[in-house]
Amino acid sequence: MIPFNKPYFSGKETAYIEEAVHSGKISGDGMFTQRCQAFFERRYGFKKCLLTTSCTDALEMAAILLDIKEGDEVIMPSYTFVSTANAFVLRGAKIVFVDSTAENPNMDTLAIEALITPRTKAIVVVHYAGIACDMKQVLAMAETHGIFVVEDAAQAIESFHEGKPLGSIGHLAAFSFHETKNIISGEGGMLVINDERFLHRAEIIREKGTNRSQFFRGEVDKYGWVDIGSSFLPSEIIAAFLYAQLENLDDIQMKRKSLWNQYMNRFAGKAESTLSLPYIPEYATNNAHMFYLVFQSEIQRGKVISALRNKGIHSVFHYISLHKSEFYKDKHDGRDLIHTDRYTDCLLRLPMYYELSIEDIDRITDIILSNLEE
């Protein structure tokens, strides 16, 4: 049996949780939260990091910070997780979906310009599989038209665009530490603030609309209700778990990359007429978040899923295009997004986790290749 995902544990998680429990403070923003935030700020040069209870929450904070209102338009890919869109829909935005590129599921940045109107408030990029979107083009358009850029970097830890860490490029960025990501805390996430204008308000929104963070730093002598907000901060127990993972980030990444490379080597030059392999543009790096294949047809993908399942191997497809979702299909402007639909029908994700072995990958690739040759 080979599952699709298996959470990674460094072994120190429970010791750190115990430490947090014995410290007498288990609500948010304690020592482990500070340590995690400082780790990311130091390692990636992010201006300010705030741990959140999920990437979904970090995206909701971003929508509040950008003052998204009824009638605003937000441009984003259709091939993404619901949270990317939901965060902005909750504030009343209309979502303008962009097709994916032919080469990989990232949004076609050349298609953005024609979709910009005076109501466009933000572009949300999703670095699919941790592979950077063409941020040069996105930033150029955002500057010309005075539009905010948010990076949904949920899958993009330890990945780069022309040497710059993903998450450091947009005005705001959101990461996920859900158990399916490279580094995890069960549920968990982080908002990255790269534009100083949002620093002050981000802390308030995260603390239920109060200036409690300022109070605890001794900057004000009492705290109260100063803005809208919610409870977006995780407890110290979550942060303690996450910190145990951060200490092993290099090891996790080394292992994942070696597994990813094994997949790539095994598939290279094989069955080229029936499947395409992940495409990593020159400006991007690979953080080995995911290994996927794109088949010629949904039928072919279905056959491979069954062949793997018969041998106890769990592979899974991914997003159902948001522009065709039950919730949004009537609100979408009707444009066809052909590549998005193709990835919905033909993309398949293979098992990828720290404990996977090279032998497991050889088994998986053998089953797939022999099935395609039949």
CB of 23 to ligand PLP, least distance (A): 25
Using the contact rule CB under 6 A, the part of the chain among 80-88, 116-124, 139-147, 302-310 near ligand PLP is 80-88
Q: In angstroms, what is the minimal distance from the CB of 241 to ligand PLP?
A: 14
Q: Which stretch binds ligand PLP (CB under 6 A): 9-17, 24-32, 149-157, 279-287?
A: 149-157
Residue 265 has phi, psi (to 5 degrees) of: -65, -40
Q: Is residue 155 near ligand PLP by the rule CB under 6 A?
A: yes
Residue 83 interacting with ligand PLP (CB under 6 A):
yes
Q: Within 13 A of 5's CA, how many CA atoms are on the CB side? A: 16
Q: Which stretch binds ligand PLP (CB under 6 A): 48-56, 130-138, 256-264, 301-309?
A: 48-56
The residues, ordered by sequence, that sit 6+ positions from 266 with a Cβ below 8 Å of its Cβ are 361, 362, 365, 369
- Least distance to ligand PLP from the beta carbon of 369, Å? 28
Using CB under 6 A, count the residues that bind ligand PLP: 14
At position 105, the amino acid (one-letter code) is: P
Residue 97 beta carbon to ligand PLP: minimum distance, rounded to whole angstroms: 14
Burial 167-195 (b: 16+ CB within 10 A, else e): bbbbbbbbbbbbebbbbbbebbbbbbbbe
Half-sphere exposure at residue 179, Cβ-oriented, CA atoms within 13 angstroms: 9
Q: Of 46 and 267, which CB lies nearer to ligand PLP in the complex structure?
A: 46
Is 185 one of the binding residues for ligand PLP (CB under 6 A)?
Answer: no
The residue among 86 and 296 lying less far from ligand PLP, judged by its C-beta, is: 86
Candidates 80, 120, 210, 248: give the one binding ligand PLP (CB under 6 A). Answer: 80
The tokens of 314 are what? 């769990």
Decide if residue 84 touches ligand PLP (CB under 6 A). yes
**Which of 189, 229, 234, 351 touches ligand PLP by CB under 6 A?**
189
Question: Is 126 a residue that touches ligand PLP (CB under 6 A)?
Answer: yes
Of 51 and 368, which CB lies nearer to ligand PLP in the complex structure?
51
Count of C-beta atoms within a 10 Å radius of residue 123: 27
Per CB under 6 A, which region of 54-62, 216-224, 245-253, 329-337 contacts ligand PLP? 54-62
Q: Which stretch binds ligand PLP (CB under 6 A): 1-9, 51-59, 66-74, 361-369?
A: 51-59
Sequence-distant (≥ 6) Cβ neighbours of residue 199 within 8 angstroms:
47, 48, 193
Q: Check residue 104 for interaction with ligand PLP (CB under 6 A).
A: no
Q: Which chain residues interact with ligand PLP by CB under 6 A?
A: 54-56, 80-81, 83-84, 126, 152, 154-155, 176, 178, 189
